[in-house]
Structure 1
Amino acid sequence: MEQEAVKKVIEENYPIRVIEVVKLKNIYKVICPNEQYCLKTIKYNFGHFFFIISAMKHLYENNFEGSIPIIKTIANKDYIEIKSCFAYLIPWKEARIGNYDNILDIISAAEVLAKLHIKSRGFKVTENMNPRIGWFKWIETFRTRKDEILDFKKRILDKDIKSEFDYMYLVEIEQEVLRAERAISNLLSSEYVQIMEKHIKTNGFCHHDFAHHNLLFADKKIYVIDFDYCILDTHLHDLASLILRSLKNGRWNIKGAEMILNKYSSINEVEEEEIPVIAAFMEFPQDFWQVGIQYYWEKHPWGEEFFINKLSKILDDREDKQEFVGELRKYKMGG
């Protein structure tokens, strides 16, 4: 049994007695006589995995209050190998997850994110790390993704029998490619490169998946978990994503963005010239591209109805989002 094998590996590597192991997605809840732990597995190459746990340790050692300490093995290591994966053990937190439908949670998230970015500064990349790197790459990444949307079009046209999703997606491609080109143009006309030259000197990193379910409210703190997508990049990447996650699905309004920006900026200052960069990042049709990747390249078996519903939500939201992005681009910090 899988759980028994995991239990055995844990007891061989940590000075704990395990009563039960419960698998929950890509983690294991480890139940012991007097405490509980979380064993997090990651199926990356060692260099990438080592970068992730090194970033987590950097935050903890820098006294980031949202950190959960990694528990050392009997051999004084930060990780173990298990089932062709690497894994680390942390204390289990009985908590509620964040809720981006709740304005108080959103403001708290902005505060924690700003503190995370400040505490990430001074991170040293070593030779045995293989990190994701986003510095200076947004323009090229957006161009590549625009070309991938055009590849989805070719795949649709090459089909003898087209699905309902194919027809829905195909009819929107031209408009979304124009939106992508507009985002690229706006990024090029911003001070993106100059800002990256300034930000890269801080040697910081981004969480890169600051979703509500990666925030644990417990012990009168907010713990940040799941650094699997951690990336070396400007903090504006995470900040733009938080605004996007908080306001999508019909909640686009400049007042909501203002609250997030003001809270974040009260801890980690947002400069005037950075606003157009955030706006351009949000303008790119990332969700339209992503559902195409999932359907045409990754071929996830989620069913036609799932993809149709997902695409419908994206299309219903896009005009309000575009109007919001136009407003945000002209927004003046403190104005």
Structure 2
Amino acid sequence: MNDRSVSLLENYDIEVLRTWRGRGAILCETKQGTLIWKEYTGHKEKAVFQDALLTTIRQRGFGNVEGILKNKEQELLTQDQDGTFYVLKTYCEGRECNVKDMDECRQAAEMLARFHSVSSIEDSFSGGSMSHPAHVEFEKHNKELRRVRKYLKERSQKTDFEICLMKNYDYFFNLALQITEELRFYQNKMENRFVCHGDYQHHNIIICDDGMHLINFEKCVFDSPVRDLYLFMRKLLEKSGWVQNVGFELVNSYEKVRPMEKEEYLQLYYRLAYPEKFWKIANFYYNSGKAWIPGKNLEKLCKVTDQEKDKREFLDRFKLRYSLCPAEM
């Protein structure tokens, strides 16, 4: 982010006392408090949708979220001479949620449920995009996995990473096909009239003096609330090695605030069962340079394969705990 963009702050009814660099942004000390100035890469319509969502949930009592400030022309975005758009938002001083602190993680699950309790949107609320059903996302991932396999088969000299990838490929690819096929016959009968945060993970959950705050709504999208819960759970389960109590405590904390329906358990099961981490590693490898493959890639791949047994045991217990019988699967 270039410092020239700071001059655009003159387009706002604020007095900037000083600025300093943050992570991918510029922080501004003003009489209204600390604000954050950053480049905006989405569509203009999405900014309008995002602002409307934030306004709506604050009106419904969910107040610990960021806000977008409008410029003197009452626009949410300000454009530089080179065509780049920038956005000015409120900022809360604090730290990220500690993934090793289960008390904080349980609180984060409760906050997610409170957010979903106020993020149901009526028909007049327009401008947001509708996400694809999960099985459509999986089908896209499966096509990408096929390309990876074709590429690997044509490689004559393989690195340790590529050998490991090929060794485990059939298991994870067949699992991906199985989960996708099962989910294809299970259709969500509820309308997705909720807006999900879209990137609910510890980086966007900030612990401040007045409690937890939720930031960075740029990926907000119409979808089932399961989308957010799944992402948060998967991240923590992977970090813990799929310790079963971690997953169930998160679900219990969420349900204390917003009880889940049977079809949401099914969605959550299928999302967790799909080998998304394996796809991410394979897809990143395929779309990156092959002259040198970082050793970290092999570490991540080995971690996924090593955790698979514990993951399957968690999913089996998940099915029993929430009575997901074969007829529903």
Q: Same fold (TM over 0.5)?
A: yes
Contact 2:66–2:91 under 8 Å retained in 1: no
Shift in Å at residue 298 of structure 1? 4.8
Q: Separation in 1 of the partners of 2:177 and 2:161?
A: 24
Number of the residue aligned with 1:66:
64
Number of equivalenced pairs: 322
Within 5 Å, give how 1:11-22 maps onto structure 2: 12-22=10-20
Shift in Å at residue 124 of structure 1? 5.0
Post-superposition Cα deviations, 1:254-313, rounded to whole Å, max 9, x if no partner, equal 333222222211221112343232111101011111112212125599952121222222
Contact 1:187–1:276 under 8 Å retained in 2: no
Shift in Å at residue 51 of structure 1? 3.1
Q: Residues 220 and 19 from structure 1, CA distance in 2 versus in 1: closer, same or farther, beyond 3 angstroms?
A: closer
Number of the residue aligned with 2:236:
246
Post-superposition Cα deviations, 1:200-247, rounded to whole Å, max 9, x if no partner, equal 2xx211112111110011132211111122221100111122221222
Instruction: Report the TM-score, using the length of structure 2 for normalisation.
Output: 0.88
Q: Separation in 2 of the partners of 1:206 and 1:267?
A: 16
Shift in Å at residue 123 of structure 1? 5.1
Number of the residue aligned with 1:276:
266
Number of the residue aligned with 1:170:
166
Contact 1:44–1:85 under 8 Å retained in 2: no
Within 5 Å, give how 1:176-325 maps onto structure 2: 176-188=172-184, 192-193=186-187, 196-200=188-192, 203-299=193-289, 303-325=293-315
Q: Residues 311 and 6 from structure 1, CA distance in 2 versus in 1: closer, same or farther, beyond 3 angstroms?
A: same
Number of the residue aligned with 2:101:
102
Shift in Å at residue 97 of structure 1? 1.0
**Residues 211-220 or 25-34, more deviating:** 25-34
Q: Separation in 2 of the partners of 1:56 and 1:63?
A: 11
Contact 2:196–2:221 under 8 Å retained in 1: yes
AA paired with 2:135?
A: I
Contact 1:275–1:331 under 8 Å retained in 2: no
**Residues 97-106 or 296-305, more deviating:** 296-305
Aligned mate of 1:80, from 78, 81, 105: 78
Within 5 Å, give how 1:133-152 maps onto structure 2: 133-134=130-131, 137-152=133-148
Q: Separation in 2 of the partners of 1:160 and 1:301?
A: 14
AA paired with 2:196?
A: C
| Pairing 1:52–2:50 present | yes
Contact 2:19–2:29 under 8 Å retained in 1: yes
Q: Separation in 2 of the partners of 1:181 and 1:257?
A: 24
Q: CA RMSD in A?
A: 2.6
Shift in Å at residue 117 of structure 1? 1.0
Q: Separation in 2 of the partners of 1:247 and 1:229?
A: 22
User: Between the two proteins, what is the percent identity of the paired residues?
Assistant: 20
Contact 2:121–2:195 under 8 Å retained in 1: no
User: Which structure 1 residue ranges, 5 or more long, are not aligned?
Assistant: none
Number of the residue aligned with 2:2:
2
Helix, strand or coil for the counterpart of 2:88?
A: strand
Number of the residue aligned with 2:327:
none
Q: Separation in 1 of the partners of 2:76 and 2:58?
A: 13
AA paired with 2:163?
A: Y
AA paired with 1:2?
A: N
